[in-house]
Amino acid sequence: MQLIFVHIFCCDTNFVFCCKIDSEPMDINKDSTPYEFPSSDLMVLEGHTSEVFSCAWSPEGSLLASASRDCTARIWTIGDGPCNSTIRRRAPNVLVLKSLESQTNETDDLVTTLNWNSEGTLLATGSHEGKVRMWNRYGELVKNLDNHSCPIFGLKWNKMGDYLLSGSVDRTAVVWNVISGKPKQQFEFPSVVIDVDWQNNDSFAVSLTGGMIYICKVGENRPVKRFSGHENDVNAVNWDPSGSLLASCSDDATVKIWSMKQDVCLHDFREHSEITYTIKWSPTGAGTSNPNQPLLLASGSFDATVKIWNVKQGRLLQSLNRHRGPVFSVAFSPNGKYLASGSADKCMHIWSVKE
């Protein structure tokens, strides 16, 4: 049986939880009673001494990286297969990634974000002090990338793995040459960079405080396109699997869909009533490993709802209303059949997309 692992993190806990769900249809809990995962399907990763900000699976799914306020990142070896009793009796192997500055207590350099390259051989971390660091999968520091002067909140590898993109509160985004460890190009913007995402190996989107979105290309001195329409900070940008549609969400409570072929948004979804904080495309549709399933977009909001959109039809498919607090995280399973959501209400829900 194929197994799908889901992670969720909470900003007020020091633990990382790994839960297993079967790829076969599962019983849907339709009442309000919380579902408790069997102990054999739950692994608790302990070690962080402060809030866990972010988690990321390596591409093959055997390693889980976590970033924390405790000034460390960690790489946990999870392995394949169920979290059975044998695994639970043996503490998971963990590599603690700690900068030399933090080791000598010269700085409080908390780790804000992280991202694996497409091969799973390198992990990039961004810090509150504006440092970008590259580590190999064995926890060894490969390069220090030092160009930002403020916290880094956006960090992404391109698919080829030759460029690393970082966005900072210092109002800049830097494209790093991975081989040399030097900036390939630096882009300056009129306000704080909140999020970044690659469209392809050379072009990327940047979201800013104030509501603007810029599309930039390596080698071009000016942005190749600007999207305006949001009325407040843009919290996240995310390209669909084909790189043709860009989704954005904002403090203005909207979700918008953009195309490089026009200046105004294709869709302006206004069904959320409060800040929209997170968005994720499904791994489905043309060019994915699930081509026969429709392309969907999920959004999480401070109104405590998760909404699923059919972007091709331009309409809301479902509003998922189980949470009782702001939704900070959503993630589709690799086969697109399930959606996980995590909230300030200290709950994680796993939804059947079909139902």
Contact 171, 130 (CB under 8 A): no
Helix (H, G, I), strand (E, B) or coil at 100: helix
Q: Do domains 1-155 and 189-355 have the same CATH topology?
A: yes
Report DSSP letters for 167-180, one per residue: EETTSEEEEEETTT
pLDDT given at position 104: 52
What does the alpha-carbon distance between residue 302 and residue 93 come to, in Å, rounded to a whole number? Answer: 36
What does the alpha-carbon distance between residue 208 and residue 210 come to, in Å, rounded to a whole number? Answer: 6
Domain extents in the chain = 1-155, 189-355
pLDDT given at position 166: 98
Angle, vertex CA 59, rays to CA 300 and CA 255, nearest 5: 20
Overall size of the chain counted in residues? 355
What does the alpha-carbon distance between residue 291 and residue 22 come to, in Å, rounded to a whole number? Answer: 21
What does DSSP assign to residue 102?
H
Nearest CA to 153 out of 190, 189, 127 is that of 127
Question: pTM to 2 decimals?
Answer: 0.88
Contacts of residue 331, Cβ cutoff 8 Å, sequence gap at least 6: 6, 7, 8, 280, 339, 340
pLDDT given at position 189: 98
What does the alpha-carbon distance between residue 147 and residue 158 come to, in Å, rounded to a whole number? Answer: 19
Contact 337, 312 (CB under 8 A): no
Tokens coding 116: 């694996």
pLDDT given at position 10: 42
- Supply the Cα-derived Rg of the chain in whole angstroms: 20
pLDDT given at position 341: 96
pLDDT given at position 3: 33
Tokens coding 227: 């999207």
Return the residue matching tokens 């960690």.
74
pLDDT given at position 77: 93
β-strand pairing of 193-198 with 203-208: antiparallel
Contact 229, 248 (CB under 8 A): no
CATH of 1-155, one of 2.60.40.10, 3.30.2310.20, 2.130.10.10, 3.30.565.10: 2.130.10.10
Is 1.10.3720.10 the CATH classification of the domain at 189-355? no
Kindly give the confidence (pLDDT) of every residue in the chain, 355 residues in length, as a single tens digit, with 9 standing for 90 and above: 233 334 444 445 676 777 666 555 444 455 556 666 676 677 889 999 999 999 999 998 889 999 999 999 999 998 754 444 444 445 678 999 987 655 555 557 899 999 999 999 999 999 999 999 999 999 999 999 999 999 999 999 999 999 999 999 999 999 999 999 999 999 999 999 999 999 999 999 999 999 999 999 999 999 999 999 999 999 999 999 999 999 999 999 999 999 999 999 999 999 999 999 999 999 999 889 999 999 999 999 999 999 999 999 999 999 999 999 999 999 999 999 999 999 999 898 999 998 8
